[in-house]
Amino acid sequence: MSSTLLHEDYPVEAEDYTRAGEASADIKRKLKQLGVSAGVLRRVSVASYEVELNLVIHSRGGVLSLEVTPERVLLVSADRGPGIPDLELAMREGWSTANETARSLGFGAGMGLPNMKRNADEFDIESQLGTGTTIRMGFLLS
């Protein structure tokens, strides 16, 4: 196992639109300080913002974690439910169950999960109804 350069856990509350995005802004700042290149930084930032907003909009709350090793940036989002009934459908561009509040703020295009997958070098999603959803995204450095 390679050494961990940075590990940070960000609790994200359901429907807290005021603070939504703060974790991602902090992640971006920290990675920039570590000297992560602009291209990787942008991909991590986009994926992180999408996954954080999904926690706010769709989940009952959860934790977004950042881990950096010399090889990769790892983002893990783990929430407390409600879980995703049909993962294949959720991954499809355009599919969204976002409510009116989220839509009025500019979310609900159904593009978040496909965006994450496109931006991450490694993408893994697991979901269990009632238990929660876990998304792991790896971004290779160098």
Partner 1 sequence: MTIADMIRVLRAKVLCGEDRLETMVYTACCSDLMSDVLAFVNEKTVLITGLTNPHVLRTADMLDLKCLVYARGKIPGEEILDQAREQGLVVITTRETAFTACGLLYEAGLRGVPIEWPESEARL
Ligand X SMILES: Nc1ncnc2c1ncn2[C@@H]1O[C@H](COP(=O)(O)OP(=O)(O)OP(=O)(O)O)[C@@H](O)[C@H]1O
Q: Two tokens at 133? A: 């959803």
CB of residue 57 to Mg ion, shortest distance in Å: 6
Handedness of CA 119, 122, 90, 53 (dihedral sign): negative
- CB contact burial 79-94 (16+ within 10 A = b; e otherwise): bbbbbbeeeeebbeee
CB atoms within 10 A of CB 112: 24
* 98 counts as binding ligand X under rule CB under 6 A: yes
Angle at 129 between CA 133 and CA 24, to 5 degrees: 20
Contacted entry of partner 1, Mg ion, ligand X, none for residue 46, CB cut-off 5 to 8 Å set by kind: partner 1
Q: Which is nearer to partner 1, 50 or 79 (CB)?
A: 50
> Is residue 95 near partner 1 by the rule CB under 8 A?
no
Q: From CA 120, how far away is CA 41, in angstroms rounded? A: 11
Which position among 27, 66, 75, 79 is part of the footprint of ligand X (CB under 6 A)? Answer: 79
111 binds partner 1 (CB under 8 A): yes
Among 43, 58, 120, 137, binds ligand X (CB under 6 A): 58
Under the rule (CB under 8 A), what is the footprint of partner 1?
Answer: 17-18, 20-21, 24-25, 28, 38, 42, 45-46, 48-50, 53, 105-112, 114-115, 118
